[in-house]
Amino acid sequence: MVCSALAMYNALLLLTLIFAIFERRRGLYFWSLSLASFGIIPYCVGWLIDFFNLTPDWAGMILAQIGWTLLVSGQSMVLYSRLHLVLRVLLWMIIVNGIIWHTSITVLVFGSNYSPVQNQDGFNAVFNVLEKVQMTCFCVQEFILSGFYIWKTWELLGTTFGCELRFIRQLFAINVFIVAMDIALLAIEYKSLFLWKQGVKAVTYSIKLKLEFAILGQLVEFVKHRGRTASVAWGDNVGACCVRGAV
């Protein structure tokens, strides 16, 4: 309950900041960040409805699955869109993982609740295994995207301005913290602590999205102080994000 309230507070704060800060509300970064932040709300509301039996189970499950899809794949799209990445294989990785895991887990969730009684144990057994597999796949996906982002940022700063070690260290520290939260969430999943996982997942993703603002803020400050050429090199994710008072 406390975790859900904190996550929804973070989501509302994020949405307020997004629409207050971004002057041009367009582009992959803006929409992925907005939808991922919004996804926290139906995820938490759906889970609370289901937990407290406030409506028929299907209503809470539908909300939770919609929120989960927006939140998890949205977070990956935020990572992908930090820079104007040209490796389409990363985008296809997000799309394929999203189709496979969001579809299969949604089917298992509804199957374990609404299939004939004699089939529910089978659905539950498969769900318990695939839930761990899908979370592992999504975590690995985020590790790959974060690692690629740090590498490309280092490469870009080196060619555009000369190596900016302080900025890279800060960027690396934020990404290490994000990875550490993913590992903690994965540990909770493998311990089969279902209630803890539901609450901690929402809070974890809301914190990760807030850290995106920290990363964006650092990029904007760097561009503002080191020259406008970075905004051209980075495409529409820093320059054309059009953060008020930035480049």
pLDDT, tens digit, for every residue of 50-87?
Answer: 878 888 888 899 999 999 999 999 999 988 887 655 57
- Residue 27 CA, chain-centre distance (Å), reads 17
- Do 93 and 140 touch, CB atoms closer than 8 A? no
Name the region of 18 (left: φ>0; alpha: ψ -120 to 50; beta: rest).
alpha
**E strand or H helix at 232:** helix 229-233
Q: Tell me which H or E stretch contains 18.
A: helix 2-21
- pLDDT band at 108, cuts 50/70/90? very high
Per residue in 122-149, pLDDT (tens digit) is 888 999 899 999 999 999 998 998 888 7
Q: Which pLDDT value is given to residue 156?
A: 67
Rounded average pLDDT over 202-225 = 78
Which has more confidence, 218 or 33?
33
Contact call for residues 119 and 49 (beta carbons, < 8 A): no
Q: Is there a contact between 188 and 196 (Cβ–Cβ < 8 Å)?
A: yes
pLDDT band at 236 (very low <50, low <70, confident <90, very high): very low
pLDDT at 235: 42
Q: What is the structure's pLDDT at 135?
A: 93
pLDDT score at 85: 57
Q: What integer pLDDT is reported at residue 226 of this predicted model?
A: 61
Q: Using the predicted structure, report yes or no on whether residue 29 has a pLDDT greater than 70.
A: yes
Can you tell me the mean pLDDT for 96-113? 92
pLDDT at 19: 87
pLDDT for 174 = 81
d(CA 203, CA 9): 10
Which domains occur in the chain, in start order? 2-237 (1.20.1070)
Q: Is the pLDDT of residue 28 over 90?
A: no
How far, CA to CA in Å, does 99 sit from each of 93, 95, 104, 131? 10, 6, 8, 15
